Amino acid sequence: MNEVFLDTETTGLSFQDGHKIVEIACIETKDLIATGRIFHKLINPQRSMPDEAFKVHGFSQDFLSDKETFKQIADEFLNFIKDKKIIIHNASFDLNFLDGELRSMQKEKINKKLVIDSLEVARNKFPGVSNSLDALCKRFNIDLSRRTRHNALLDCELLREVYINLLEAKEPKFNLSNNISEININRAKDYSKTIVKISDAELKKHKEFIKSEIKKNFY
C-alpha cells in the first residue's frame, strides 16, 4: 500500500467556527520514497481572511478569490488518497476541516484506520518536549531555510523527512559499554550455585575449633 503525506492551511483553527481550508497538498510515496505524484490546490474559502491566518501562510482573500472551491476539487482529492495510508502531523486538526467539508457535501469521511498521526508517533518517541514540525526538523537537522511561512506542499516534504527519521530514531537508553554488558550477560549465564556437603570428620573438627575459640575468648 502506498502512502500519502498530507497537509492543509486554513483561515483559522476550527471548521465548526466557520473557518475553511485555503490550501491542501499531498505527496505520494511508496515505501516512503517519493513517486513523483503530488496533489496541490489553492482553494477559495468563500469568506474573509483573518489577519492572524494571513500572517501564517500569506494567502489573502483577493489572491484566493479566483481559485477553485473545495467542492470543485473534492473528487480529485479523494481519488488521489484512495486506498493509501495517510500520514498527517497533528491529524485531528486537518481531519476536522476535511471531514467537515466532506460532510457538508454528503460524502463519506476519511477512513481513520488509514491515518497515521506523526505527532503521536513523535510524542511516544520524545515525551515531554515540543514535537511540532519545526521542532522535529531542528532535532533531526532538517533544513528549514525555505520555510519562511507555512506552505502545505513544503510541509509535506518536510514531514516525509521527519517521519523517516522518527521511524529510525532509537529510544533513549543508558550509555553502557557493549563489552561490559556482554561480560555481565556471560557471567550470568555461566554462574550456578554449588552446594558442598562436608564430611563427618570435617564437621567434628569444626565443632572442636568452635569449642576451643569459645574457651579462649570467654573463659
How many CA atoms lie within 13 Å of 50's alpha carbon, on the beta-carbon side? 14
Rounded Cα distance, 172 and 183, in Å: 22
CB within 8 A of 158, min separation 6: which ones?
133, 137, 142, 144, 147
Tell me the three cell numbers of residue 104.
457538508
Contact 7, 88 (CB under 8 A): yes
Strands 85-88, 115-117: pairing kind: parallel
Which residue among the candidates 19, 57, 89, 150 is catalytic per the annotation?
150
Query: Whose grid coordinates read 460524502?
Result: 107
Q: Does the annotation mark 150 as catalytic?
A: yes
Q: What positions carry a catalytic annotation?
A: 150
